[in-house]
């Protein structure tokens, strides 16, 4: 067996192993999901005080609706406050601030531009509520989102709760692809939550106990992914993070490819470099599933994804070139016949069977993910776009993020 075949088998095996792992985890938490859907967030008797920070840099287009969604939360008004932080905006963000400056639940702060993590830390200096969270200024929360999160803090061991993030009002075909992708992410985060292996506390509406920042310090830049660095810092210190599947937050996603490319390069670059910063967690049983399994397979999956796609493209290119050479040599045949099918010629080798099984499991997980995020699995144009195109656009940002990491190039947020 050649080295290429060995790499391909290993890549498919890792993919299959991870899919089986997720499916088994889903079967274990299926009853919990039903309980969460029907009971969490209802009949709450204790409402801890909560502050939501909204960091802003040139957010005049979406900020008004973001703040309105927070003010409309179904939560006692005397227990909820907002802090809007202008991180050196150069557009009309300050005009939006003035609209809410006199609101009793809203406080506004202004500082020189220093990046999102500095805006969050600036607000944290003056917060004293029980819980604190962040909401990106291009995101919007469901009315009951906070009520779906707060009950988890009845468990004293839980230090942070993440929401389920959906795509807001998708229009372009790329946004429809992202809608399906985010559904898959909702499923993945819920499974990782049950394994105590969440490695990111997303900017849109992750809620923390305030003591997390008092104990571990404020946000770091984290290679432009401060939410990922904070989660890894918490995991390293064995602070428990869980996910609330039915606390829904909607975020505006990139409409065009370049915006999506820039965003995903930053995310992948942040994951790679933060993983390197916390490499002592890898294969260390002290950190449970996140160290023994999740982080290593996350890194490996980047390389296996690139290899599988490259192998498919090379195979397809080879067949096209062979067909072209055959055409140049003999031309088209004089007669045309429809292709026939014979079970005898089905390839029953190990590689095709593993590939078909992995594809089958992928589709099964996608169906479960759509049911969890949308309430039902429905075949839509987004699903079609996702299945046919997603695997071929991902390598663009994976390659760039790897290149930037290997050559220690710095990336910018914008």
pLDDT of residue 321: 85
Whole-Å CA distances, 191 to 6, 350, 353? 30, 29, 26
Cβ within 8 Å of residue 180, ≥6 positions away? 366, 370, 382, 383, 385, 386, 390
Evaluate if residue 409 carries a pLDDT over 80. yes
Q: pLDDT tens digits for 94-149?
A: 999 999 989 999 999 999 999 999 999 999 999 999 999 999 999 999 999 999 99
User: Is residue 147 left, alpha or beta, with left meaning phi > 0 and alpha meaning psi from -120 to 50?
Assistant: alpha
DSSP H helices, 160-294, are: 173-194, 211-216, 226-236, 257-277, 288-289
Label residue 319 by pLDDT band (50, 70, 90): confident
Closest CA to 392 of 285, 308, 286: 308
Closest CA to 165 of 143, 189, 144, 147: 189
Q: pLDDT tens digits for 233-263?
A: 999 999 999 999 999 999 999 999 999 999 9
Label residue 411 by pLDDT band (50, 70, 90): confident
CA 165 – CA 182 distance, rounded (Å): 7
Q: pLDDT tens digits for 363-393?
A: 999 999 999 999 888 888 999 999 999 988 9
> Taking a C-beta distance cutoff of 8 angstroms, is the pair 240, 157 a contact?
yes
Cβ within 8 Å of residue 181, ≥6 positions away? 386, 390
Q: pLDDT tens digits for 281-301?
A: 999 999 999 999 999 999 999
Residue 354 CB-half CA count within 13 A: 13
pLDDT of residue 358: 87
Evaluate if residue 60 carries a pLDDT over 90. yes
Quick one: how far is CA 389 from the chain centroid?
Answer: 19
Q: pLDDT tens digits for 3-27?
A: 777 877 888 888 888 999 999 999 9
Residue 361 token pair? 């499991």
Label residue 340 by pLDDT band (50, 70, 90): low
Which of 42-46, 117-121, 334-338 has the lowest average pLDDT?
334-338
Q: In the 8-state DSSP scheme, what is residue 137?
A: T
Calculate the average pLDDT of the chain.
92
Label residue 348 by pLDDT band (50, 70, 90): low
Cβ within 8 Å of residue 240, ≥6 positions away? 155, 157, 158, 159, 160, 196
Rounded to a whole number of angstroms, the CA Rg of the chain reads 24
pLDDT of residue 414: 62
pLDDT of residue 93: 96
Q: Are strands 106-111 and 207-209 parallel, antiparallel or unpaired?
A: unpaired
Whole-Å CA distances, 331 to 264, 286, 320, 325, 335? 45, 65, 15, 9, 12
Closest CA to 183 of 131, 234, 138, 248: 248
Evaluate if residue 343 carries a pLDDT over 60. no
Which of 20-29, 131-140, 329-338, 400-409 has the lowest average pLDDT?
329-338
Evaluate if residue 339 carries a pLDDT over 80. no
State mean pLDDT over 204-213. 97
pLDDT of residue 337: 58
Please report, to the nearest 10 degrees, the dihedral formed by the alpha carbons of residues 54, 60, 66, 67 taken in order.
Answer: 70
């Amino acid at each position: 067996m050649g080295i290429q075949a060995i790499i391909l088998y290993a890549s498919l095996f890792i993919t299959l192993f991870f899919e089986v792992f997720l499916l088994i985890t889903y079967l274990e938490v299926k009853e919990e999901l039903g309980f969460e859907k029907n009971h969490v967030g209802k009949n709450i008797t204790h409402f801890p005080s909560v502050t939501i920070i909204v960091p802003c840099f040139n957010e005049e287009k979406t900020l008004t609706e973001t703040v309105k969604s927070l003010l409309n939360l179904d939560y006692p008004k005397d227990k909820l406050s907002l802090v809007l932080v202008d991180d050196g905006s150069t557009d009309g963000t300050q005009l939006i601030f003035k609209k809410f400056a006199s609101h009793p639940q809203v406080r506004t702060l202004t500082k020189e531009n220093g990046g999102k993590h500095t805006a969050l830390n600036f607000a944290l200096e003056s917060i004293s509520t029980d819980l604190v969270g962040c909401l990106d200024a291009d995101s919007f929360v469901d009315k009951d989102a906070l009520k779906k999160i707060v009950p988890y803090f009845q468990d004293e061991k839980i230090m942070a709760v993440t929401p389920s993030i959906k795509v807001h009002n998708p229009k372009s075909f790329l946004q429809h692809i992202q809608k399906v992708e985010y559904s898959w992410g909702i499923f993945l985060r819920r499974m990782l939550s049950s394994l105590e292996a969440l490695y990111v506390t997303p900017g849109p509406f992750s809620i923390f106990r305030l003591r997390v920042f008092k104990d571990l310090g404020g946000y770091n830049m984290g290679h432009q992914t401060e939410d990922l660095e904070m989660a890894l810092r918490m995991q390293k210190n064995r602070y428990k993070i869980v996910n609330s599947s039915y606390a829904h937050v909607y975020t505006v996603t990139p409409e065009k490819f370049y915006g999506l490319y820039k965003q995903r390069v930053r995310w992948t670059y942040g994951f790679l470099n933060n993983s390197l910063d916390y490499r002592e967690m890898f294969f260390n049983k002290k950190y449970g599933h996140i160290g023994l399994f999740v982080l290593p397979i996350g890194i490996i999956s980047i390389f296996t994804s690139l290899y599988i796609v490259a192998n498919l493209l090379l195979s397809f290119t080879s067949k096209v070139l062979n067909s072209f050479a055959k055409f140049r040599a003999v031309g088209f045949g004089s007669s045309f016949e429809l292709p026939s099918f014979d079970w005898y010629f089905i390839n029953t080798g190990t590689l095709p069977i593993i590939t078909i099984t992995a594809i089958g499991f992928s589709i099964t997980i996608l169906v479960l993910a759509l049911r969890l995020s949308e309430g039902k699995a429905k075949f839509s144009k987004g699903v079609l776009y996702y299945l046919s195109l997603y695997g071929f656009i991902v390598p663009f940002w994976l390659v760039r993020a790897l290149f930037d990491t290997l050559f220690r190039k710095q990336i910018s947020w914008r």
